[in-house]
Amino acid sequence: MPTSSCHPGIIPHWSPLNSKIEQKENKYIIMDLRDFYLLAALIACLRLDSAIAQELIYTIREELPENVPIGNIPKDLNISHINAATGTSASLVYRLVSKAGDAPLVKVSSSTGEIFTTSNRIDREKLCAGAAYAEENECFFELEVVILPNDFFRLIKIKIVVKDTNDNAPMFPSPVINISIPENTLINSRFPIPSATDPDTGFNGVQHYELLNGQSVFGLDIVETPEGEKWPQLIVQQNLDREQKDTYVMKIKVEDGGTPQKSSTAILQVTVSDVNDNRPVFKEGQVEVHIPENAPVGTSVIQLHATDADVGSNAEIRYIFGAQVAPATKRLFALNNTTGLITVQRSLDREETAIHKVTVLASDGSSTPARATVTINVTDVNDNPPNIDLRYIISPINGTVYLSEKDPVNTKIALITVSDKDTDVNGKVICFIEREVPFHLKAVYDNQYLLETSSLLDYEGTKEFSFKIVASDSGKPSLNQTALVRVKLEDENDNPPIFSQPVIELSVSENNRRGLYLTTISATDEDSGKNADIVYQLGPNASFFDLDRKTGVLTASRVFDREEQERFIFTVTARDNGTPPLQSQAAVIVTVLDENDNSPKFTHNHFQFFVSENLPKYSTVGVITVTDADAGENKAVTLSILNDNDNFVLDPYSGVIKSNVSFDREQQSSYTFDVKATDGGQPPRSSTAKVTINVMDVNDNSPVVISPPSNTSFKLVPLSAIPGSVVAEVFAVDIDTGMNAELKYTIVSGNNKGLFRIDPVTGNITLEEKPAPTDVGLHRLVVNISDLGYPKSLHTLVLVFLYVNDTAGNASYIYDLIRRTMETPLDRNIGDSSQPYQNEDYLTIMIAIVAGAMVVIVVIFVTVLVRCRHASRFKAAQRSKQGAEWMSPNQEHKQNKKKKRKKRKSPKSSLLNFVTIEESKPDDAVHEPINGTISLPAELEEQSIGRFDWGPAPPTTFKPNSPDLAKHYKSASPQPAFHLKPDTPVSVKKHHVIQELPLDNTFVGGCDTLSKRSSTSSDHFSASECSSQGGFKTKGPLHTRQVNEHFYWSISTAYKCPANQY
């Protein structure tokens, strides 16, 4: 009796088997008692463990696309993720047990247990090919899924039933069907037509035939056989006459019942033949036979016999296979066309096809052959040994499974499926391990086992196991199959490498050579073998270093530059060759030592600073910033000026440049010199840069009138002059620059009739309208010429006389009129009388009145002047006190400023509302002094004439690439940020202007500070006061005319004395 091995927890149990009685030559062989006990033991070993083995059945349709869900294992089996022993939740892993090289038809999600279709198409006709799979037979395939880990292990057997879809069209055996019908065929006679075949089953198979173009001669009928086959029959509906027509060509269409419906057609050609009125007849229309699968080639299967009542050639019967016989069946069996004997033509295999249905036609040459159906049943013999399907749960390497010595008991290694193609007793298989090893087989289904560890493994005891798994069937004789399993144990790597120092500190000088040796890094490992083999590896941020992986020698792979990076911090990893590898890390700190390899570097190759021309001496004008990328003494930089002629002083450490001169843009607009920076290294390194000090203009010059040449000249305006013609020109210049030199011309008085207009840019005076007779006479225009300076605008007044008349024959008379207009205030029109200066008597009276009024005004003027001088002294005392609070050590500069103010001869107080005219007294006594006062217009006092709207801020005059001094102080300078202020503050004061002109060049001059506001700015980038000098700053006189009389004009800002000063 063969030995058997069962799971220790399974009690052997044998289910009773029907004894097989085989009849052979009237002798019976009955199973003996020994075989019965053997079968009982086999069945006992196959008892299932229901705790870990379960089954699922799903039904799907064929030809489904990829990723179509089929089922959900945990949901369908109500699998809990809670460990019953510990009460904790665990992540289950679902794994499809597949054979290497198989193309899986479905896939299982490892995390969710969901089953989906794959890209491999499920074709029912291919999966279940063969005649044995009819409509009533299920087409299915099976698969196994295991659930891991071991605490939750289950083996799920899944059966997937594949339902048919209408994916095949029915087809006739030939595209052209030929039928011969005797001409004496009676009406309603029927002739069989070869049936169409459809690989689909059920309603998707052949359902309907249709005759197309029957020509009313033929009809079609369908006969259904007991097996469910539909046979088409051609019905003769009219008498045939071969002599009239011997051939009929039609079409026959076959359709299935699927959705969508599929169909095909064939050409049906009917030939009318002569009469043969008897057809062959089989003795049995349905025959069933049995033949063993090991029947040799040539074995007779059955002898068919058909008879024909006809005689002669019409009685000669020919046997052929029907069109429905499968090609595979025709290859296995041969049919003698004359005798009707069916024999075995090739070796049979019941496991491939168990039942063959053969249709045999017996024809005597007529169009209606006889039909017989032979069912051949192939019986089983024990000709197939058991098959062992070994599928590993733990993937093997070169056929060997590697286990760790710390793996627990019952570790699943493989799923073993045993099968036998034979049936009944020949297909019953038992499975066991042939020798004692720490592994066992655990049955989960009647033909499946799990290979597990049965005890703890010890690498030191046994390093490798090699054993066989035996599968044996119960046939006579018994057939066996073995599978070899190799298992190797692995040592555990449980000690990481250890560095001798967790932090390694090194120092190296910059500008080193490549490959310079730095140190050797070493670590030790307490393991042995490959687990103790250590390799070293650099971590990130270590691109400047090379490390030998085996020796741990650390070298420099690049040249270090301390200025780019002073310190390198990276890690070194020591890793052993264990599986999994263990590692540890140490920190490496490399400090780069400095060398004097960098020269001082200026932030700009060319420094440009901008200062106002009124900046006091010894004021800060800029800061030179220089850097040195080295460290320590190598970066200590000192500065010096190379070629300046002592105009500036440079602090060698802070880089602050101070002026040693007083700036006057009109004298010198810029200063340029070189500075040198030297570091403290050995040997020292140096560099140079250029410095340019640009002196910015301050609005300190009033406009100077060029035309008209004097305040006593006039222009003739004829009555015939047309509007728009230029009648006079006013032209002035300003020796300042930029906006400070831009001028604007405005008529502020004397044009109350609007007869004239002045161009604000060119100064051309044009006629607005044609002069009328009432306009004849002298017209005096007061023109204000103001610049667009910032923050204070300066201006000059000029008198333009226009004499409207056809001629100017008496020039002395006109000059006399001009001289007399000097007595009229500037805010009044000299032509207010109906005939100005035409009546001499009226002129005499007016002179007397004016003379009397001037006496009164002179008295008032003297009184006010005395009081205002007292107020000015009080004001000067206050300013002196205030200036003392702002006093700087530079007293010499303050004295120079006082001298400069004194040189300008600016009066300390004056009246805005009066213009004093004094005639210079020559040596001869002919000339008599003429005194008079003229009031200025009110708008001059308010300074609304010629003001330029600068907007919120003045435009900068800096060049685009010039350094921003304020920003430079705050960011680029190594010194603390500070604000630039002049050493000597500018005192708060009123702006004064005095212009003394000869009668030949007498202009009314003024300063834009006639408003009651005063400047308190100390910014050296802007002007803080306007010039008190009313004349030109020119190299030579502009006019040298000789005249008999000289007038001196004095216009100054009115000083309103406070009430408490009187």
3 state SS for 793-845: CCEEEEEEEEEECCCCCCHHHHHHHHHHHCCCCCCCCCCCCCCCCCCHHHHHH
Integer Cα distance of 173 and 1007 in angstroms: 123
Cα separation, 1033 vs 1024, in Å, equals 19
Task: Show Cβ contacts of residue 35 under 8 Å, excluding neighbours closer than 6 positions.
Answer: none
pLDDT of residue 476: 84
Burial class (CB in 10 A: 0-12, 13-18, 19+), 508: middle
Radius of gyration of the chain (CA): 64
Residue 824: predicted pLDDT: 82
Taking Cα atoms as reference points, which of 1007, 1000, 1009, 1014 lies closest to residue 1047? 1000
CA distances 510 to 516, 599, 631, Å, are 11, 16, 12
Phi then psi dihedrals of residue 422, to 5 deg: -75, 170
pTM over 0.75: no
Inter-residue contact 113 to 92 (CB < 8 Å): yes
Q: Within 10 A of 486 (CB to CB), how many other CB atoms are there?
A: 14
pLDDT given at position 116: 94
Instruction: Print the SS3 string covering 230-272.
Output: EEEEEEECCCCCCCCCCEEEEEEEEEECCCCCCEEEEEEEEEE
- Cα distances (Å, whole numbers) of residue 998 to 839, 1045, 1046, 1049: 30, 8, 5, 9
> Residues 1017, 876: contact at Cβ < 8 Å?
no
Q: In what order do the strands lie in the sheet with 230-236?
A: 190-192, 230-236, 218-224
Half-sphere exposure of 609 (CA within 13 A, CB side): 29
Which helix H or strand E contains 885, and what residues bound it?
helix 840-885
Calculate the alpha carbon distances from 340 to 299, 321, 584, 757 in Å: 14, 10, 88, 140
Who's near 166: CB < 8 A, 6+ residues apart? 200, 204, 256, 258, 259, 260, 261, 262
Instruction: Name residues whose C-beta falls within 8 Å of residue 815's C-beta, 6 or more positions apart in sequence.
Output: 712, 714
Residue 970: the pLDDT is 34
SS3 track for 926-961: CCCCCCEEECCCHHHHHCCCCCCCCCCCCCCCCCCC
Q: Where are the alpha helices (DSSP H) in 85-152?
A: 124-127
Q: How far is CA 51 from the centre of its chain?
A: 54
Nearest alpha-carbon partner for 686 in 562, 608, 598, 595 = 598
Partners of 537 in the β-ladder: 573
> Alpha-carbon distance 812 to 905, whole Å?
35
What burial letters (b/e) apply to 845-862, b meaning 16+ CB within 10 Å?
ebeeebeeebeebeeeee
Report residue 201 CA to chain centroid gap.
Answer: 57
> pLDDT below 50 — which residues of the chain?
1-48, 50, 131-134, 833-841, 880-1062
- Considering only CA atoms, which of 200, 213, 220 is closest in space to residue 260? 200
Tokens of 829: 């029109």
- Three-class SS of residue 207? strand
Q: Report the C-alpha gap between 698 and 736 in whole angstroms.
A: 7
> What residues have CB less than 8 Å from 409, skipping those under 6 apart?
453, 454, 455, 456
Q: Please check whether residue 10 is in contact with residue 52, taking contact to mean a CB–CB distance below 8 angstroms.
A: no
C-alpha angle 161-166-171 in degrees, rounded to nearest 5: 125
Give CA–CA dist 180/102, Å, rounded.
Answer: 52
Encoding tokens for residue 821? 């207009």
Report CA 976 to chain centroid distance, whole Å: 43
Q: With the CA atoms of 168, 173, 176 and 180 taken in that order, what torsion angle do they form, in degrees rounded to the nearest 10?
A: -140
pLDDT at 662: 87
Tell how strand 27-29 and strand 429-433 pair up: unpaired
Using DSSP's 3-state secondary structure scheme, residue 895 falls into helix
For the range 641-645, what are the long-range contacts, defined as Cβ-Cβ under 8 Å and sequence gap of 24 or more?
Answer: 641/673, 641/674, 641/675, 641/676, 642/673, 642/674, 642/675, 642/676, 642/688, 643/673, 643/674, 644/671, 644/673
Q: How many CB atoms lie within 10 A of CB 137?
A: 11
Residue type, 994: I
> Minimal CA–CA distance to 896: which of 616, 645, 666, 621?
616
Q: State the Cα angle at 405 between 404 and 411, rounded to 5°.
A: 70
State residue 135's pLDDT score.
Answer: 52
Please give the pLDDT value at position 59: 92
Where is 869: in which H helix or E strand?
helix 840-885
Instruction: Read off the amino acid at residue 133.
Output: Y
How far is 65 from 116, CA to CA, in rounded Å?
Answer: 10
Side-chain-side CA neighbours of residue 934 (13 Å): 24
Contact (CB, 8 A) for 182 and 195: no
